[in-house]
Structure 1
Amino acid sequence: MENVVLIIHLLLALGLIAVVLLQRSEGGGLGMGGGGGGAMSGRAAATAMTKLTWILAIAFIATSITLTILAAQKSSGSSVLDRITLPAGQDAGAADAPSSPLGSDLLPPAQGDNAPLVPSAD
């Protein structure tokens, strides 16, 4: 179901891009003129391209909302952490606690017959 809605959504997006690019420029955007004529009315007549643009835009928004609802239903009740699989032989408590170094790992090596680690001030 989700794949069908996604394909329709992509086709609507491509159709909307094509219809918008095919429309005639009415000018006025960023100061670029496109003619205009003498009698400019406040309301332009709705052409077939404008109606098609509105229909595609409404359908695009509807499929966007539908995809959002489908994704929310699919992920409800589960977490990303629930999908993590632990290696064999490891329990969940050990996976949560980070491994800390042992106390002997923090100390310098024991001085025996080896040369001193810090040079003397002789």
Structure 2
Amino acid sequence: MTTTAASLRVMVVDDSNTIRRSAEIFLKQGGHEVLLAEDGFDALAKIDEHQPQMIFCDILMPKLDGYQTCSIIKRNQRFASIPVVMLSSKDGVFDKARGRMVGSHDYLTKPFTKDQLLQAVQKISALG
């Protein structure tokens, strides 16, 4: 499969090591640079330093959930333009709507395939 998307710096925020690792492998196979964060606080600490061009963020996390994390990112002038894709094991209309309300660009249901993940990256990067 050829990717038309340019290489991006992508952050994956998930409290599940399994999800982080599989997303990292898929994204690297797609030619992207990958940053990992295990929760919202970890993500917020790394965003400033690493300036990701896109963020995949799990919804259900301890301490700071995905909605709160996305909301904080979007309220910060310096990071507001970074596209955020919510990750959730639930595929509910309410979850998707709530994700859009806090500023997420898309929604991906877990478990995701390599193709689904890379298509999400391609879709977002096409928006430019």
Give me the TM-score of the superposition, normalised by structure 1.
0.19
More strand by share: 2
Structure number with higher relative contact order (C-alpha < 8 Å, ≥ 6 residues apart): 1
More helix by share: 1
